[in-house]
Chains A and B, each alone.
Chain A
Amino acid sequence: MRKVLIKGNDAIVRGALLGGATHFFGYPITPASEIAQGAANLFTRSGRTFLQAESETSAINMIYGAASTGARVMTASSGPGVALMLEGLSYLAGAELPSVIVDVQRAGPGLGNIWPEQSDYNMCCKGGGHGSFHNIVLAPSSGQEMTDFAYRAFDIADAYRMTVIILTDAYVGQMMEPVGFPSAVRHGARKSWAVYGDESSRQNLISSIVMNQTGMAELNIMLQEKYARAARDLTDWDEIETEDAEFLLIAFGITSRVASTAVSHLRENGLKVGLLRPKTLFPFPSERIAELAGQVNLMAVAELNNGMMAQDVELAVRGGCDVRKYNWYGGMVPSADELASRVREDFNG
């Protein structure tokens, strides 16, 4: 496969186009701006639609409208922008509209800075807006996965009628790596529930309001069943050196790249350390982590936030083994040596 050296953010745009995205509505924000820039260029040149909204609130409501008409829609932002979209995410979930949202995480809270963090984990993985809903959350760790996940995201969104969030970070978004592209362009099929402005779809209604209690309860129960189905079918993760591991590192995104190198160094020194990298954060690989809790002596979750994924790990292991938290903030990303020394201390301690 021929590869091109590009930024992760550019890889997202190309993956989305090949995956059948038809509309991009967005508002640029560092460190996600290359996505809006790339979409403005490539969506328009390939006959798709790009529109720069006046705000993220506008963008997410354009997403709602276009998704209602069966379009394959996407936007991209960073934490402050995605936070503004949370009301819309809830409405999308209530109306079961498929969409793809890229969050290139930066440091927070507030305006924070434009360096990488993973502190939008709870906002994205726990639904974010009001109501009992979830989004499917994919966590790429390389430029190649930025393309691959964006390519798949539209099919997943359509299949489950859900929002798919590609939760990446400023590091992976800005980093340039060789990326190969799929050869086939995907296209969305006509949707039986969408409104196309023609006779056959005239009876369809897109709404998230259900004024009677039993109807609203039934919608909620159906949503939970859908999330359970997604957990059965979509949960995905990678493992490195876990077969005989006595110590398990868990990390996603850029932190998993650092952790992978740290595991190699530690193994060279004879320490039986393994790595589990969730590729989907919702659904979360809880069952596999619970299994490994019966094998290893200790787990440690390395992440660029205050231990958000560690809470999901603790919930999965249910006290089955001790879970340490390695946290960094503000755009600080640990080196492999720094992470390895933290593991060494706890491994020997």
Chain B
Amino acid sequence: MSGNRVEVNQDLCKACRVCVETCPQHCLELGSAINALGYQAVRFDSVDCTACGMCFYVCPEPGALTVIKGEDA
């Protein structure tokens, strides 16, 4: 396990799915919970994240995604 992860600010996400479709490791998916804006915010649940940052770069919502590189990566 690398410990790499993506933190999603649930209330900034508009569920556009660009990160879901861009992630080469398929680490992101639409969640089932409805956020404050009324969207099904993206959820991160994976051990395969390489912290490549592509989700961060394609996300149109500044501040919605934070990519954190694990200490043992």
Contacts and interface: CB of A to CB of B under 8 A. Distances in A.
A33 interface: yes
Contacts of B60: 30-31, 33-34, 114, 170, 174
B57 A33 contact: no
Given A30-B16, A114-B14, A114-B60, 11 more contacts: A28-B62, A30-B14, A30-B60, A30-B61, A31-B60, A33-B62, A34-B60, A34-B62, A37-B63, A113-B16, A174-B58
**CB-CB nearest 10 A-B residue pairs:** A37-B62, A31-B60, A30-B60, A33-B62, A114-B16, A174-B60, A34-B62, A30-B14, A30-B61, A114-B60
Interface in B23-73: 57-58, 60-63
Residue among B14, B62, B63 having the largest count of chain A Cβ atoms under 10 Å: B62
Size class of the A contact interface (CB-based, 8 Å): 10 to 19
Nearest to B63: A37
Interface string A162-206: 000000001000101000000000000000000000000000000
A30 B62 CA distance: 9
Interface of A: 7, 28, 30-31, 33-34, 37, 113-115, 170, 174, 176
A114 B58 CA distance: 13
Contacts of B61: 30, 33
A236 B63 CA distance: 37
Contacts of B58: 174
23 contacts: A7-B57, A28-B62, A30-B14, A30-B16, A30-B60, A30-B61, A31-B60, A33-B60, A33-B61, A33-B62, A34-B60, A34-B62, A37-B62, A37-B63, A113-B16, A114-B14, A114-B16, A114-B60, A115-B16, A170-B60, A174-B58, A174-B60, A176-B57
A30 B64 CA distance: 12
Contacts of B63: 37
B15 to A, nearest CB: 10
B59 to A, nearest CB: 9
Nearest to A31: B60
Contacts of A37: 62-63
A78 to B, nearest CB: 10
B14 to A, nearest CB: 6
A63 to B, nearest CB: 22
Contacts of A113: 16
B24 to A, nearest CB: 16
Nearest to A7: B57
A54 to B, nearest CB: 18
A28 B63 CA distance: 12
